[in-house]
Amino acid sequence: MTEFRVGPSARTTPEGLRWEPSRRWVRGRKGDVTVVDSRHPVLVWEPTGVPVPLYAFPRDEVRTDLLRPAANPPTGTHTGSRIFYDLVVDGGLTENAAWTFPAADLAGHIAFEWFLRWDSGLDHWYEEEEEIFVHPRDPYHRVDALRSSRHVRVGIGGTTVADTRRPVLVFETGLPTRYYIPREDVRLDLLEPTGHRTACPYKGTARYWDWNGGGEVPRNIVWSYPEPLPAVAAVEGLLAFYNEAVDLVVDGERLERPVTPFTESLTT
């Protein structure tokens, strides 16, 4: 079971869903068509799976004329969801783009896939006038990027690949501290850029590097945000290493390698 932080207006259904109303104006588009335009969205956290929120919307704030009962509804997803919908926009079909929850508290609401499933859902989401990526931002999730003078060394297979006294430390709820290091303090000759990209609703889009210094080291072990979101502007262009797979020494103290949701995805 996922352990959730609870806000003053949060409620929990018998099915284990946690939900609370949001004050944000949320819109979702497929191509040039606005499918959702809601000033009364509800944030929903499911008890299993990825511990990030999604939105459910009152039916009268959804273009239900674009929805059709799903031809091939999935099973075992979205906490006992009873009804799935395919989305038809300008002749294009998006299967299982939306669904309803069985919870009585959420009767009359429709939820949509975001970007965690890349082949389903809408193309663009907005909170107020700001485009949001990957998934809705969790109001109980905090990310702080702080400039520091700590002494940080990063080792891979016995080789020091980074050594700095001017890192930026990123403190993010539920994750280990990440140490972002200026390029001038990194052995770039031991890294090779890859085509891998990921997106984060709190930080932006990251690009990655492989280690090319030998040994069995996970792919895409280093990342950087060339154009981070304003809230973490201090990390622009800096490089970070997965604590889960490198040797980190901070102010002379060797840090243990943490086990995180990323551990299983780090493969050689």
Model confidence at 67, pLDDT cuts 50, 70, 90, reads very high
- Burial class from Cβ neighbours inside 10 Å (0-12, 13-18, 19+) for residue 9 reads exposed
The stretch 180-195 carries a mean pLDDT of 98
Residue in 182, 178, 230, 243 with CA at minimum distance from that of residue 202: 230
Cα–Cα distances (Å) from 107 to 22, 26, 82, 83, 240, in that order, read: 17, 19, 11, 12, 44
CA distance 153 to 181: 10
Q: Which residue type does 121 have?
A: G
The stretch 34-40 carries a mean pLDDT of 98
Q: Kindly write down the DSSP assignment for every residue of the chain, as one continuous string.
A: -------TT-EE-TTS-EEEE--S-EEEEETTEEEEEESS-EEEE-SSSS---EEEEEGGGB-GGGEEE-SS--SS-TTT--EEEEEEETTEEEEEEEEE-S-GGGTTEEEE--SSSTTSS-SEEEETTEEE-SSPPPTT--EEEEE----EEEEETTEEEEEES--EEEEETTSPPEEEE-GGGB-GGGEEEEEEEEEETTTEEEEEEEE-SSSS--SS-EEEBSS--GGGGGGBT-EEE-TTTSEEEETTEEPPPP--TTGGG---
Model confidence at 113, pLDDT cuts 50, 70, 90, reads confident
> What local confidence, expressed as pLDDT, does residue 3 receive?
44
Model confidence at 2, pLDDT cuts 50, 70, 90, reads very low
Q: Please, what's the b/e burial string for 97-119 (b: 16 or more CB within 10 A of its CB; e: otherwise)?
A: bbbbbbbebbeebbbbbbbeeee
- Percent of the residues in the chain that have a pLDDT greater than 90, as a whole number: 74
List the beta bridge partners of residue 29. Answer: 34, 124
CATH topology of domain 143-265: 2.170.150
> What is the tens place of the pLDDT at every residue in 128-167?
999 988 889 999 999 999 999 999 999 999 999 999 999 9
> What local confidence, expressed as pLDDT, does residue 265 receive?
82
> What local confidence, expressed as pLDDT, does residue 102 receive?
87
For the domain 11-132, what is the CATH superfamily, name and number? Domain of unknown function (DUF427) (2.170.150.40)
Is-contact 163 251, C-beta < 8 A? no
Q: What is the Cβ-side half-sphere exposure of residue 167, based on CA atoms within 13 angstroms? A: 25
> What local confidence, expressed as pLDDT, does residue 156 receive?
97
- Percent of the residues in the chain that have a pLDDT greater than 70, as a whole number: 93
**How do 247-250 and 152-156 pair as beta strands?**
antiparallel
Model confidence at 79, pLDDT cuts 50, 70, 90, reads confident
Residue 40 structure tokens: 């009364």
Q: Which residue type does 133 have?
A: F
In the chain, CATH 2.170.150.40 sits at 11-132, 143-265
Give the predicted TM-score (pTM) of the model.
0.84
